[in-house]
Copies of this chain bind each other. A is one copy, B any other.
Amino acid sequence: MIKRLAILGVGLIGGSFALALRRAGVVETVVGYGRSAANLATAQRMGILDAVATTAALAVQGADLVCIAAPVGAVPGLLAEAAPALRDDAILVDVGSTKQGVIAAARVTLETHTHTRIAQFVPCHPIAGAEDSGAAAARAELFHGRAVIITPLPENAPATLARVTALWQACGARVTEMEAVHHDHIFAAVSHLPHLAAFALVAELASRPEAETFFLHAGSGFRDFTRIAASHPEMWRDIALANRDALLTELDAYQAQLATLRTLLATNDRERLSELFARASHARRSLTLTLDKS
């Protein structure tokens, strides 16, 4: 049982985490801290929060579980603000889409203070993004059937990992573990690059004088392809910068593939164009089968 849960950044993920733990009956009191007073008021109205704190330090005071659910760029600052008030037996989790940067920041902050230890921090990544953001989008079922990846630290005690795993499972999630570096590499390819590619396509079209006419004729294919371009700009800027090296590698591979495709098109290479499209179509259809099962 969690006596007091502190949520730093009460958005879609942080809000849903609180709601899911409440519904599972494993949390008593939830205190929230965030930048937007209006958002925190919404969270209180929705029953996500019992109380709103005016600083990160006040939010974590006395908390046995702290969840940092702000955009990854804001995490180091929040950690620094919260650390002096953190209980020495509190468990700290984050929910960021990139892990190495957050781990490095947590290591510095928690080891700087004499009463806190990096072992308290369990890096987590729930795979449950959505275009909607803010507390208003939060719901108790968000993690139901979704994957949560934990990238454990060598310092984490088995009991701490087991406790965090059980909490995510109480939210209905399937928990797996992975090395942080491997995590960041994989998600650069299957999440961060697609977001960048969708942002780029929509930004390019939107910058044209005839943008309205283009969007007017967008069909379901365009709609699906660009859905993630509606995502939260600051959140994705932070993710892109936090996972910059892996993302640049992916972006280069993607641009090289586009350049190849351009050559095939410009030289009328029907055969190799078919091959490339067929390889993609086959892989994507296999993926549909896999996803349908999950």
Contact = CB atoms under 8 A, between A and B. Distances in A.
Nearest to A182: B213
Contacts of A196: 258, 261, 265
Contact of A201 (B197, B230, B232): B197
Nearest to A271: B237
Contacts of A288: 230
Given A194-B226, A201-B257, A248-B265, A218 B287 contact: yes
A107 interface: no
Contact of A202 (B226, B229, B270, B284): B284
Nearest to A218: B190
B262 A248 contact: yes
Contacts of A254: 200-201, 204, 258
Interface in A203-226: 203-207, 211, 213-226
Interface bin, chain A: 35 or more
Specify the main secondary structure of chain A where it touches its partner. helix
B265 A247 contact: yes
Contacts of A190: 205, 214-215, 217-219, 222
A70 to B, nearest CB: 16
A251 B262 contact: yes
Contact of A276 (B187, B203, B274): B203
A272 to B, nearest CB: 10
B218 A224 contact: no
Interface string A249-279: 0011111111101100110101001101111
Contacts of A214: 186, 189-190
A240 to B, nearest CB: 6
Given A197-B201, A259-B255, A287-B218, A241 B265 contact: yes
A230 B284 contact: yes
Contacts of A216: 290
Given A201-B197, A206-B279, A237-B277, A225 B222 contact: no
Interface of A: 73, 127-130, 147, 149, 186-187, 189-191, 193-207, 211, 213-234, 236-237, 240-241, 244, 247-248, 251-259, 261-262, 265-266, 268, 270, 273-274, 276-288, 290-291
